[in-house]
Structure 1
Amino acid sequence: MAKYLFRAKLTVDGLKGLLKDGGTTRREVVERMVQSLGGRLESMYWALGEEDVYVTADLPGNTAAAAMGLVTSAAGGARTSTVVLLTNEEIDEAVRQKVEYRAPGV
């Protein structure tokens, strides 16, 4: 399973829904959505600032993560962005890769 961070900014409709349903109900909805994709919800936090919600989830892969972001954004209650999170071991593997590269202007 891969780990993802979803950031969401609620729309006016999303805020109205939150005021009606509350945060706990929205978390239950998100958890069911993640499970329907074969994943596991790790955490969901409400925030003050640029984004309103941060969700971390384990999902089978990028297509499941894309589906989750697409469906959520298309529903109109939030605009989402997705970040693929890498483990320490994945970074270790990445730094062992031999990559041919030349910086611009060099």
Structure 2
Amino acid sequence: MPKYLFRVRLTVDGLKGLIKDGGSARRDVVERMVQGLGGRLESMYWAFGEEDVYATVELPNNTSAAAMGLVTSAAGGVHTSTVVLLTAEEVDEAVRQKVEYRPPGA
């Protein structure tokens, strides 16, 4: 199943919700959402820096990942950015593919 990294920035409303509910409760909400999409929450970490949360998730496909990002961002408590993660074997397969390409100016 494809893996995704969700980078999450909390809005002011999201921070208020976190203070009210706590981190464990928010993780449980995310886990239920991911399971409802047919996936699995692999990890979820709170962080300092530009992002407040990093979650690694297995989901059936890109459509499920897009739906998750759209719905959570549209609710107003967070802004999400989604990164598709590749295994070493998937990278091996990618580098074996023949790609026809001409660089600019060549």
TM range (shorter): over 0.9
Shift of 1:102: 1.4
Instruction: Tell me, in whole angstroms, the C-alpha distance in 1 between the residues paired with 2:104 and 2:25.
Output: 50
Q: Once the 2 structures are TM-superposed, how far is the Cα of residue 105 of structure 1 from its aligned partner?
A: 1.5
**SS in structure 2 opposite 1:89?**
helix
1:51 is the counterpart of 2:28: no
Matched AA of 1:35: Q
Q: Which one-letter code corresponds to 1:46 in the other structure?
A: W
What CA distance in whole angstroms lies between the structure 2 residues aligned with 1:58 and 1:8?
A: 16
Shift of 1:42: 0.1
TM-score by length of 1: 0.99
1:91 correspondence with 2:91:
yes
- Residue aligning to 1:71: 71
1:50 maps to a residue whose letter is E
Residue 17 in structure 1 maps to residue 17 in structure 2: yes
Q: Which runs of 4+ in 1 moved over 2 A?
A: none
- Over aligned residues, Cα RMSD in angstroms? 0.5
User: For the residues of structure 1 that align with 2:26 and 2:56, how far apart are their CA atoms?
Assistant: 14
Measured in 1, the distance between the counterparts of 2:26 and 2:105 equals: 50
Amino acid aligned to 2:78: A
CA distance in 2, matches of 1:63, 1:99: 26
What amino acid sits opposite 2:40 in the alignment?
A: R
**TM superposition score normalised by structure 2:** 0.99
How many residue pairs are counted as aligned between the two chains? Answer: 106
SS in 2 for 1:79: strand
Describe the SS at the equivalent of 2:13: helix
Q: Percent identity?
A: 81
Counterpart in 2 of 1:34?
Answer: 34
Q: Which runs of 5+ in 1 are unaligned?
A: none
* Structure 2: runs of 5+ lacking an equivalent: none
Q: Distance in 2 between matches of 1:103 and 1:10?
A: 40
